[in-house]
Amino acid sequence: MEESNSNPMMNSVVLRNIFEMIPISDLKSCRQVCKPWYEESLTRWRRDMWLKLQEENSSNDALTLTNFLELSKANDSISDPSSIEKGTFKKFKLQGWHFNSENDELKTRFLKTYGPVMTHLEIEQSVFDSREDFESVVFQSFPKLQSLSLNGNSYKVTEEQIKIVPPINDVLSNANKMSSVKDLQLNLWTHDGAASFPLSYLEFFANYPNLKNLKLCRFPWRIPNELNLENLLRAMLTLSKNGGYSWALENFATFHMYGYSYSQVISLLPQLQFPLISLTLDIGCNTRPSDFKMILKTYANTLRKLVVYGSGHSLKLIEDNPDFRIGVQLKSLTELRLFETAASLNLNFLQFMPNLRSLFLVKEIDSTMLNAAPFLSDPDLLRDLHNRQKEYDSGNPIAVYPIPNTDFSQLRNTVLPGMEELVVFGKNNKVCTAKQIAALSRMMPNLKRLRVGLENDGFRVVCNAWKELEVLIIQPCEVNNSGITGTIPGLPIQLPNLYDLTRLRYFIKDTTAPVPPCTRCSRITDEALWQCTRRSPPPFPDVRDWYSEMF
């Protein structure tokens, strides 16, 4: 790209630095501005974006292995800076592939060309004809791999073959240790309801001694015993005791565990001594409160983030034990996410988390929540929850009243100075009273992001107590125009109102009615005004005049 001194936004060095820092969503828009911007975006784009390849064309927009290799070969001999070879792709998602011992020229060429530079790999809904095919692809083709995901694949092995576990010395001598792999995700459940794996867990995990993140999906209780969570952890424990492995796992997550009971693994977790920083658990109807407490006690000194999902079957567990998470001091915990039926029925547990910074109590995700996700922490987690709801819709909307159900007298000595985010949501929620909001403001004096149900008096307390708020989402909402503007007919003074929140950058309430600004509208951002009015400003400079004319 030719350098331009007159316009810094056409300078390749400036553009490369900008494109390295902006979010991928913004980079996607920048690529469409002009050809020079498109060319300079390629390095970051191909390094950070995933490329999905199908072996055969099953949809109109799918990129097949044949097409991809033809594009690569065609561009090998030209100097076009936008060729596919500028910034080699390093993240691949292989979907619907068939791996077998036959000499497939296309697969061999792909693995030989891109395998040595690949850093992230997901193999999804594919077929491995034998364990030898699996080992040759997964263990021998990607020397620089950092992240591996095996998602819903079929392995042509019998349950009897899985039961055969070689002696630990043979396992260690045959292991091809891939020390670069830090992230691993396993989903053993296929579309036909079968679960299989080509190796024993002992043989498989011997190849990944430096795991930092482990995510396990769809390990239902009906899974063969050799493939359940208990045997997976036992394999890791055997490698630790007899193989000299020192597991440094920091993030452990389980999803879609259905009726799994964690009582089977309680005794193994302390022995493994994972230095967990983040823990995600999907609890179900067979999870006992005592088991959950024991898990929390195991990681109480290191855990900084806790995410708990609860299927509809676990609702009775929560109702019978509304405080079953309480009793464990989690002084290191800064982020807590309680989703679906795992959302607490009150806030009494806060007394055990003095350094909490962010709390989500969410029964379900609606469109309003999705729109606000970019302004909240963990937007990807909220989108994942929304997708999970679409897949497992119970059809029974659940209300969540943690604030109205809280006895704040029990929390009068609890102050969370680091608390910056509180998100509470569930259908048919109750609004919070002014007294409850005042109690919250005393306990959380430095909130910056808030989602809660409010009426006029509660809204005025919010505007008076949390003047540093940056994000405010009111749902359900019983705040009218008088509450928004702080004006009451016959009252000569103006009460606390929306425009006291000078740092607000996102505001929305559960209504489609425009919100009239007061005379001090210049103290609130255009973005917040746009959220109030639900209308886009016209393409002329003085947008504030336009907003004023609306009313």
Structure confidence at residue 381 (pLDDT): 84
Structure confidence at residue 61 (pLDDT): 66
Q: Kindly state the percentage of the chain with pLDDT values over 70.
A: 77
Pairing of strands 251-255, 278-283: parallel
Q: Which residue has the higher pLDDT, 211 or 23?
A: 211
- Name the burial class of residue 411, with classes exposed (0-12), middle (13-18) and buried (19+) by CB atoms within 10 angstroms of its CB: buried
Q: What distance in Å separates the CA atoms of residue 220 and residue 392, rounded to the nearest whole number?
A: 15
Which helix (H) or strand (E) is 150 found in, with range?
strand 147-151
Q: What distance in Å separates the CA atoms of residue 258 and residue 391, rounded to the nearest whole number?
A: 13
Q: Which residue has the higher pLDDT, 489 or 418?
A: 418
Q: What are phi and psi of 323, to 5 degrees?
A: -110, 25
Confidence of residue 161 (pLDDT cuts 50, 70, 90): low
- Name the burial class of residue 10, with classes exposed (0-12), middle (13-18) and buried (19+) by CB atoms within 10 angstroms of its CB: middle
Compute and round to an integer the Cα radius of gyration of the chain.
27
Q: Which residue has the higher pLDDT, 162 or 547?
A: 162
* pLDDT of 440 over the 90 cut: yes
Which among 537, 546, 499, 539 has a CA at the least distance from the CA of 519?
Answer: 499
Amino acid at 420: E
* pLDDT of 538 over the 60 cut: no
Structure confidence at residue 24 (pLDDT): 79
User: Residues 411-436: what's their mean pLDDT?
Assistant: 88
Q: What is the DSSP string of 382-394?
A: HHHHHHHHHHS--
Q: What distance in Å separates the CA atoms of residue 39 and residue 46, rounded to the nearest whole number?
A: 11
Q: Which residue has the higher pLDDT, 405 or 231?
A: 231
User: pTM for this structure?
Assistant: 0.83
**Candidate from 305-314, 416-425, 447-456 with smallest mean pLDDT:** 305-314
User: Residues 373-401: what's their mean pLDDT?
Assistant: 70
User: Residues 379-403: what's their mean pLDDT?
Assistant: 67
Using alpha carbons, list the distances in angstroms from residue 26 to 45, 350, 358, 434. 11, 37, 26, 40
Q: What is the pLDDT of residues 59-103, one digit of tens each?
A: 656 788 888 888 776 555 434 444 444 557 889 999 999 998 776
Which among 176, 72, 147 has a CA at the least distance from the CA of 114?
Answer: 72
Q: What is the pLDDT of residues 39-53, one digit of tens each?
A: 888 888 878 888 888
- CATH 3.80.10 holds for 50-249: yes
* pLDDT of 1 over the 70 cut: no
Confidence of residue 541 (pLDDT cuts 50, 70, 90): very low
**Contact at 8 Å (CB) between 479 and 459?**
yes
**Candidate from 24-28, 138-142, 376-380, 501-505 with smallest mean pLDDT:** 24-28
| Residue 177: other Cβ atoms inside 10 A | 14
**Candidate from 25-29, 120-124, 251-255, 465-469 with smallest mean pLDDT:** 25-29
Pairing of strands 251-255, 213-217: parallel
Structure confidence at residue 211 (pLDDT): 96
Please write down the HEC assignment for all residues of 397-422. Answer: CCCCCCCCCCCHHHHCCCCCCCCCEE
Within 13 Å, how many C-alpha atoms sit on residue 32's CB side? 4
**Candidate from 217-221, 357-361, 424-428, 444-448 with smallest mean pLDDT:** 217-221
Q: What is the pLDDT of residues 338-370, one digit of tens each?
A: 887 777 678 888 889 999 999 998 887 777 778
Structure confidence at residue 383 (pLDDT): 81
Structure confidence at residue 421 (pLDDT): 96
Q: What distance in Å separates the CA atoms of residue 10 and residue 35, rounded to the nearest whole number?
A: 10
Structure confidence at residue 551 (pLDDT): 34
Please write down the HEC assignment for all residues of 198-236. Answer: CCCHHHHHCCCCCCCEEEEECCCCCCCHHHCHHHHHHHH
3-state secondary structure of 186: strand
Q: What is the pLDDT of residues 450-491, one digit of tens each?
A: 999 999 999 999 999 999 999 999 988 889 888 888 888 888
Q: What is the DSSP string of 448-465?
A: -EEEEEEEHHHHHHHHHH
* pLDDT of 534 over the 50 cut: no
Q: What distance in Å separates the CA atoms of residue 421 and residue 364, rounded to the nearest whole number?
A: 18
Strand order in the sheet with 127-128: 98-99, 127-128, 154-155
Q: Kindly state the percentage of the chain with pLDDT values over 90.
A: 31
Q: What is the pLDDT of residues 258-296, one digit of tens each?
A: 667 788 788 899 999 999 999 998 886 677 778 888 888
Structure confidence at residue 540 (pLDDT): 34
* pLDDT of 512 over the 70 cut: no
Q: What distance in Å separates the CA atoms of residue 146 and residue 182, rounded to the nearest whole number?
A: 5
